[in-house]
Amino acid sequence: MTKVLYKLDTFEGPLDLLLHLIEKNEVDIYDIPVSTITDQYMEYLGTMQELELEITSEFLVMAATLLSIKSKMLLPKPPIIELDMGDYEDEDLDPRAELVQKLIEYRKFKSIAEELREKEVERSLIYTREPEDLSAFIPELEDNPVRGLRLADLVIAFQKAMKRAQSRNSVARIQRDEISVRDRMRQLVDLLDEKGGTLLFLKLFDENTTRDDIVVTFMALLELMKVKEISCYQHELFGDIVITAREDREHHGIPGTEIRH
């Protein structure tokens, strides 16, 4: 009759079988009843032979090892050697020590393998997909004409202009006609066109600039930014404000009504 080659599903090897027998008998792994465990191990091998299953060599090697340990356990212990330092007994004479160490290591790796297997099962339940390009769904936002420019920057620039106006040593005061914010806006737009589309804020004032001129110019700049005719930015912290004409500006954006200040 042809023998059938069969791989055990329950026990991966002799150590797995021994660990199962120890847990089944609820015995301490450090104090294994070798006689009982050996009898149960041999009974298992006998069952395999009855079922005509192929027994691997490692199971047979372990059977021989158990029988050897069992026979050593039955032998009388050697007498205790009496020395000047007192009674001495070799604690390494326990023939089970090496087997116990192997079982402990095997149990440790088996526990780790079971934990990794659980993680593998959990990970198999997770499905991923390649990232898609969602840029088409991003709403288009209008450019902020004062991006990077804070209110504090405008206030500081205004204060600098005021200090320059106050600190000048004027001999005479020239009275000028008041100019409206609307007219100043148009002057600034024309001046930008003459200067190639770029101006410095402090360059708009000279030593004859009055307080009213500074206020009107400041408000005109704010209105021009509001109607998206110009943009303002700084190259460095507390630096002069750079005024540039927007490429997409429309001259009809300047309000036709008078702006009071």
Work out the angle at residue 21's Cα, subtended by the Cα atoms of residues 114 and 15, and round it to the nearest 5 degrees: 55
Identify whether residues 170 and 117 lie together within a single domain: no
CATH of the domain at 179: 1.10.10.580
Q: What is the pLDDT of residue 116?
A: 92
- Backbone phi, then psi, for 89, in 5-degree steps? -135, 125
What percent of the chain lies above the pLDDT cut of 70? 78
Annotate 66-105 with b (16+ C-beta within 10 A) or e (fewer).
beebbeebeeeeeeeeeeeeeeeeeeeeebbeebbeebee
| Residue 237 DSSP one-character state | T
Identify whether residues 60 and 112 lie together within a single domain: yes
The CA R_g of the chain, rounded to the nearest whole Å, is 48
Burial of 238: CB neighbours in 10 Å, binned 0-12, 13-18, 19+? exposed
pTM of the entire predicted model: 0.38
Identify whether residues 72 and 172 lie together within a single domain: no
Q: Which two tokens stand for residue 110?
A: 């088996």
Would you place residue 176 in the very low, low, confident or very high pLDDT band (cuts 50, 70, 90)?
Answer: low
Can you say whether residue 49 is alpha, beta or left, with left for phi > 0 and alpha for psi between -120 and 50 degrees?
A: alpha
Query: Rounded to whole angstroms, how far apart are CA atoms 259 and 261?
Result: 7
Identify whether residues 233 and 161 lie together within a single domain: yes
Domain span at 61: 14-76+91-124
**What is the per-residue pLDDT across 70-105, written as a single tens digit (0 to 9) for each?**
888 777 766 665 555 444 444 456 788 888 888 889
Q: What is the pLDDT of residue 169?
A: 56
Identify whether residues 117 and 201 lie together within a single domain: no
Residue 227 near residue 189, CB atoms below 8 Å: no
Burial of 257: CB neighbours in 10 Å, binned 0-12, 13-18, 19+? exposed
pLDDT above 60 (res 243): yes
In the chain, the amino acid numbered 18 is L
Work out the angle at residue 200's Cα, subtended by the Cα atoms of residues 199 and 202, and round it to the nearest 5 degrees: 140
Would you place residue 159 in the very low, low, confident or very high pLDDT band (cuts 50, 70, 90)?
Answer: confident
- Has residue 1 been placed in a domain? no
Q: Which two tokens stand for residue 241?
A: 């404000």
- Has residue 81 been placed in a domain? no
| Inter-CA distances, 222 with 41, 160, 185, Å | 94, 17, 9
Would you place residue 47 in the very low, low, confident or very high pLDDT band (cuts 50, 70, 90)?
Answer: confident
Number of domains in the chain: 2
- Has residue 176 been placed in a domain? yes
Identify whether residues 165 and 228 lie together within a single domain: yes
Q: What is the pLDDT of residue 87?
A: 46
- Has residue 72 been placed in a domain? yes
Q: Which of 3-12, 106-115, 187-196 has the lowest mean pLDDT?
A: 3-12
- Has residue 228 been placed in a domain? yes
Identify whether residues 197 and 162 lie together within a single domain: yes
Query: Rounded to whole angstroms, how far apart are CA atoms 155 and 222?
Result: 12
Identify whether residues 119 and 160 lie together within a single domain: no
Q: Which of 14-28, 77-91, 145-159 has the lowest mean pLDDT?
A: 77-91
Identify whether residues 19 and 105 lie together within a single domain: yes
Query: Rounded to whole angstroms, how far apart are CA atoms 192 and 184?
Result: 12
230-234 sheet: strands from edge to edge: 198-200, 241-245, 230-234
- Has residue 166 been placed in a domain? yes
- Has residue 8 been placed in a domain? no
